Every structure is written in structure tokens, then in C-alpha cells.
């Protein structure tokens, strides 16, 4: 006893020391990494803000100069004004208070041909101008809208002016190709120790190198505010190798510090898992023995009672004697079936081969199982509907084992879905396999338990809450029999209510070869 306490105390001390060392190493490494990352983030955020401010200042200044160069009375030549200010503008509109172009109030860049300019003017006046917040502007205050029409990006800058009692609007369409091809390269130098991107609101690349977060290390973003506000500047570290080296160093630190902790925790975890499994197995076996004992006791009690009545002559007529004999026979069949389940399950647990395969008619096997279930169905006041395809091909099958599987599926429906009052069985061919479906109209099974109900000794939660006895091995046997035949079994809940069990077997090779 004292030795056990000493061993437990030593394990606890080693575990506590390992946890303390791991926590200290993790805290220190994490703190240093956090500080380094914070410094890099602050530096890169300042760089991103500096780039955005510089680009927007250049664009806004050139537009304000062009706005100032356009007098409304008399209206100058807009193209001459654009060239004099060297503004990167695609088109200029001067609109009246009705959002109509005033005479001489439209100019288009020479890079846009005449037909394209006319088409854009029509689209602008009909679709774009009414959506711009022109009438909400304060006098001589620049406004802008960065948006997309027909899949293409546009940047419009505009001001509202008053001449006498008349209102005018000056709208500039920015040349975004000049912005991307000339302005961005000036600010985002190729030889910079940083990587730069400009992306749109969908995350698609507008300008720069296509880098990923994982390879680029720390990445920051800064949106544009006064111009192309749907775009964002992304800045990343170019020295991906240094980031990788720091990551490897950090990983090695964690591995070395946590090695002893991992070994101890793994050992304790395996021990706890083994103890838990052993405990669970003992509980399941105890529950199994209890359930099987009850299942065996019930038919034995009935057989003993009616056998005693027959032996003592406590019968009123030959018909009653026949009835008692039928009850004894029915319960003996039920008892034999339960014993077969237990014996077959025991053989399977020991790895003993319990199957004798031969090509046979699966329809006859299912019909025999239906005949054996008639008395149980009558006792439960349930009916069964069968749809058995008479032209099924031969199947490599162990007739006794498959009969047991079908009986278990029917018994399962009788036991757990009696309120449905009926069972439906369908046997048909589907390609290279024969499908058997058994459906009941009971409460169904929780979808979370569809996988577990085929485990040995497992019984559904809803069933455990009811006074229904069972061994918990019936469906496990069904699955084992199906797999041994090269097939399988599954379950699904019906669309209205009830459960549908599907068991399938492969068609025999000789049958497939003959069909071919």
C-alpha cells in the first residue's frame, strides 16, 4: 500500500514538474514571439498607411486642380483643361440641375474611341448619374463613388457649384488603368523589402505579387478612404525564410520542452483508456448476462407452466391441449433461437468460422423466416407485408445464418415497434446485389445512434428507458452475417416515421457470368 502511494506521488511530482517546465517554456517563447510580431505589425501598418495617404493625396490634388480649372460661365474646352492639369481622367461631365449634360459639357480621353465614348455617355446618363449622391453634396466639397458596373470598376469624383441661381455638377471619371499601371508602381517599389498587393472587395488581385499568408509571413491590410475605397493595400514580409526559421526554432523549443510531458501524458492516457474500456466491457457483459438470463427465464417459465398443466391433465378439451402444445412449441422455438444467437455470438467472439456457404435461393430463405415468425406476429397483433421477387438469381449464402439474420430483424421490429401494427419486407435485385429491406412503423431510431446500434451489447437510449428486455447482440449478429456474405447492413429513418433496415448480398459469380 505504501509502495503504491509512493509510486503515485512520484508520478504526480514528475508530471507537475513537466507541466511547469512546459508552461514556462511556452509562456516565454509565446511572449517573445508576440512582441516580435507586434513590432513587425506596427511597422508594416505604418508603411501601409503611408502608401495609401501618398496615393490618395496625389489623386485628390490632381482632381481638385482640374475642378478649379473648369469655369462654368463661360465653359472652357474640357479636353484642354484636362491636358493642362495632366489629370489622369477618362471623361469629364458637366451636368445641370436635371442631370443633363450642358452644351460642351462632355469630354472623353483620346484613349477611348468615339463609339466607346458615346456608349459610355449613354450608360452614364441613364444608369450611373441617377445613382450618384450629387444633390446631397455641399457646395464646392469633393465627393466620390467607387463602384462596379457591368463587371468593370469605376471611380467618380464630383462637386456641386452654384452660378447665380443655377446648380451645376462636375463629374470626373478617374483613369484606373493609369492608377494601376503608373501610380501604383511608383509607390510599391519592386526592390522593397516588403511585398505589396492591392485587392478588391472580393479578394481578387488588382495589382502586385500573388502571395499567400502562409508563405508571406505577417500580413497587414489598409483600405483606401477618399478614392478607391473598395480596394485595400496588403503588405507582407519578403523574408519568408526568416519567418520559417523562427517558426522552426519555436517548434523545436516546444518539442524539446514538451517531450517528457507528452510521454507521461500518453502513458497515463493509455492506462486510463484501458481501464475505461475494461470497466465498460465488464458493465456490458454484466448487462448482457442479466438481459440474457431474463430472456431465457421467460420462455422457460412459460414452457414449464403449460407443460405442468398438460402433465396434470388440467385441460378442458382436446382443443385446449392443442393450444397449450402450440404455446410450448412456440416458446421452445423462441428459446432455441435465443440460444443460437448466444452460441453463434460466442463463436464469432472466439474467431471460429460458423458459416457453410453454398449457392441458394435467398427468396426461399426469407420465406422460411416469415413462416417461423407467424406466431410471434399473431401474439403481438401485428401484420407483415411481403414483396419477394420470384426471379432472383442464385446467391452464395449460408441458409441457416441468413435465416437467423432475417428473424433477428423481424424480432427487432416486433419488440421495439409494436405500436406500428405492421412490418413490410421487400426482396429485390439491384444490379449486382440482392437487397432485403425490413421496415417498421415505430418511433424510429435517433440518427446519432445509427452507427452504434450494430455494436455488440449496445442498446438505444430510448429502448433502455422502456421495460423492454434484450440481449444487445441481435443487430451485431445481423451485421456480422451480412459482412461474412460479402454484403452489408444499414439503417435509415422513414420520411414519415419508423425505421428501415437494409441488408444486401452480392449476386453469385456464376449467375453474373451466365447473365453476361
pLDDT of residue 515: 47
- Cβ atoms < 10 Å from Cβ of 479: 18
Residue 188 lies in a domain: yes
Residue 487: pLDDT band (50, 70, 90) is: very high
| One domain for residues 108 and 195 | yes
Q: Is there a single domain that holds both residue 227 and residue 106?
A: yes
Range of the domain at 493: 355-515
Final residue of a domain: which of 238, 255, 284?
Answer: 238
* Of 16-20, 298-302, 362-366, minimum mean pLDDT range: 16-20
Is residue 108 in some structural domain?
yes
Specify if 32 maps to a domain: no
| CA nearest neighbour of 55 among 148, 177, 188 | 188
pLDDT at 407: 87
User: Does residue 396 share a domain with residue 371?
Assistant: yes
Verify that 216 and 70 share a domain, yes or no.
Answer: yes
Per-residue pLDDT for 318 more than 50? yes
3-class state of residue 288 by DSSP = helix
d(CA 492, CA 446) in angstroms, rounded, equals 10
pLDDT, mean of residues 126-150:
90
% of the chain with per-residue pLDDT over 70: 77
148-168 pLDDT, tens per residue? Answer: 888 889 999 999 999 888 899
Band (pLDDT 50/70/90 cuts) for residue 214 is: very low
Domain shared by 291 and 377, yes or no: no
Query: Which of the listed residues 202, 221, 238 is the one where a domain comes to its end?
Result: 238
The answer to whether residue 117 is domain-embedded is yes
Give 162 or 324, the one with higher predicted confidence: 162
pLDDT tens by residue, 31-48: 777 777 778 788 888 888
CATH of the domain at 144: 3.30.450
pLDDT tens, residue by residue, 80-120: 888 887 788 989 999 999 899 999 889 888 888 888 888 88
Tell whether 268 and 137 lie within a shared domain. no
pLDDT grade for 514, boundaries at 50, 70 and 90: very low
Residues 299 and 400 both lie in one domain:
no
Confidence of residue 513 (pLDDT cuts 50, 70, 90): very low
Per-residue H/E/C for 135-169: CCCCECCCEEEEEEECCEEEEEEEEEEEECCEEEE
| Residues 98 and 231 placed together within one structural domain of the fold | yes
pTM here is 0.44
Residues 306 and 186 in one domain: no
Residue 340 lies in a domain: no
> Is 332 contained in some domain?
no
204 & 304 share domain = no
Residue 19 lies in a domain: no
Domain count, the chain: 3
Establish if 349 belongs to a structural domain. Answer: no
Pick the closest to residue 129 from 158, 108, 99 (CA basis).
99
Residue with more model confidence, 157 or 495: 157
CATH number at residue 505: 3.30.565.10
Q: Do 466 and 430 sit in the same domain of this protein?
A: yes
CA 244 centroid distance within chain = 31
Q: Which of 238, 267, 282 is the last residue of a domain?
A: 238
**What is residue 352's predicted lDDT score, i.e. its pLDDT?**
54
Residues 391 and 428 in one domain: yes
Amino acid at each position: 500500500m505504501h509502495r503504491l502511494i509512493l509510486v503515485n506521488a512520484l508520478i504526480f511530482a514528475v508530471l507537475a514538474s513537466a507541466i511547469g517546465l512546459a508552461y514556462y517554456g511556452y509562456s516565454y517563447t509565446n511572449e517573445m514571439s508576440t512582441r516580435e510580431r507586434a513590432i513587425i505589425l506596427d511597422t508594416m501598418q505604418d508603411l501601409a498607411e503611408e502608401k495609401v495617404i501618398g496615393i490618395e493625396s496625389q489623386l485628390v490634388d490632381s482632381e481638385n486642380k482640374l475642378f478649379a480649372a473648369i469655369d462654368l460661365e463661360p465653359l472652357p474646352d474640357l479636353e484642354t483643361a484636362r491636358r493642362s492639369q495632366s489629370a489622369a481622367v477618362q471623361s469629364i461631365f458637366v451636368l445641370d440641375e436635371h442631370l443633363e449634360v450642358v452644351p460642351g459639357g462632355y469630354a472623353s480621353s483620346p484613349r477611348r474611341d468615339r463609339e466607346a465614348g458615346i456608349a459610355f455617355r449613354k450608360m452614364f446618363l441613364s444608369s450611373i448619374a441617377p445613382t450618384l449622391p450629387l444633390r446631397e453634396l455641399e457646395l464646392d466639397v469633393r465627393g466620390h463613388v467607387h463602384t462596379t458596373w457591368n463587371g468593370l470598376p469605376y471611380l467618380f469624383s464630383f462637386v456641386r457649384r452654384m452660378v447665380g441661381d443655377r446648380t451645376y455638377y462636375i463629374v470626373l471619371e478617374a483613369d484606373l488603368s493609369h492608377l494601376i499601371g503608373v501610380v501604383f508602381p511608383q509607390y510599391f517599389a519592386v526592390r522593397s523589402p516588403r511585398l505589396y498587393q492591392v485587392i478588391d472587395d472580393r479578394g481578387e488581385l488588382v495589382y502586385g505579387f500573388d502571395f499567400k499568408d502562409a508563405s508571406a509571413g505577417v500580413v497587414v491590410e489598409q483600405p483606401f478612404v477618399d478614392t478607391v475605397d473598395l480596394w485595400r493595400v496588403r503588405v507582407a514580409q519578403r523574408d519568408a525564410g526568416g519567418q520559417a526559421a523562427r517558426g522552426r526554432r519555436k517548434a523545436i523549443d516546444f518539442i524539446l520542452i514538451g517531450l517528457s510531458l507528452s510521454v507521461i501524458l500518453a502513458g497515463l492516457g493509455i492506462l486510463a483508456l484501458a481501464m475505461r474500456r475494461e470497466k465498460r466491457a465488464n458493465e456490458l457483459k454484466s448487462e448482457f448476462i442479466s438481459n440474457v438470463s431474463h430472456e431465457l427465464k421467460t420462455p422457460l417459465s412459460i414452457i414449464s407452466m403449460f407443460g405442468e398443466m398438460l402433465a396434470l391433465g388440467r385441460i378442458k378439451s382436446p382443443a385446449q391441449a392443442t393450444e397449450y402444445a402450440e404455446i410450448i412449441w412456440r416458446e421452445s422455438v423462441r428459446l432455441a433461437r435465443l440460444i443460437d444467437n448466444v452460441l453463434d455470438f460466442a463463436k464469432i467472439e472466439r474467431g471460429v468460422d460458423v458459416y457453410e456457404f453454398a449457392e441458394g435461393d435467398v427468396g426461399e430463405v426469407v420465406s422460411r423466416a416469415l413462416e417461423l415468425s407467424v406466431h410471434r406476429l399473431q401474439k403481438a397483433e401485428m401484420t407483415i407485408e411481403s414483396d419477394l421477387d420470384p426471379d432472383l438469381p442464385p446467391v452464395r449464402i449460408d441458409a441457416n445464418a441468413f435465416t437467423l439474420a432475417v428473424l433477428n430483424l423481424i424480432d427487432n421490429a416486433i419488440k421495439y415497434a409494436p405500436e406500428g401494427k405492421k412490418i413490410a419486407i421487400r426482396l429485390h435485385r439491384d444490379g449486382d446485389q440482392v437487397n432485403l429491406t425490413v421496415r417498421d412503423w415505430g418511433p424510429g431510431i435517433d440518427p446519432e445512434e445509427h452507427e452504434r446500434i450494430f455494436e455488440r451489447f449496445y442498446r438505444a437510449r430510448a429502448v433502455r428507458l422502456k421495460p423492454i428486455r434484450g440481449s444487445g447482440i441481435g443487430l451485431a449478429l445481423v451485421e456480422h452475417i451480412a459482412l461474412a456474405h460479402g454484403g452489408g447492413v444499414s439503417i435509415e429513418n422513414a420520411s414519415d416515421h419508423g425505421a428501415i433496415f437494409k441488408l444486401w448480398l452480392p449476386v453469385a459469380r456464376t449467375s453474373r457470368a451466365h447473365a453476361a
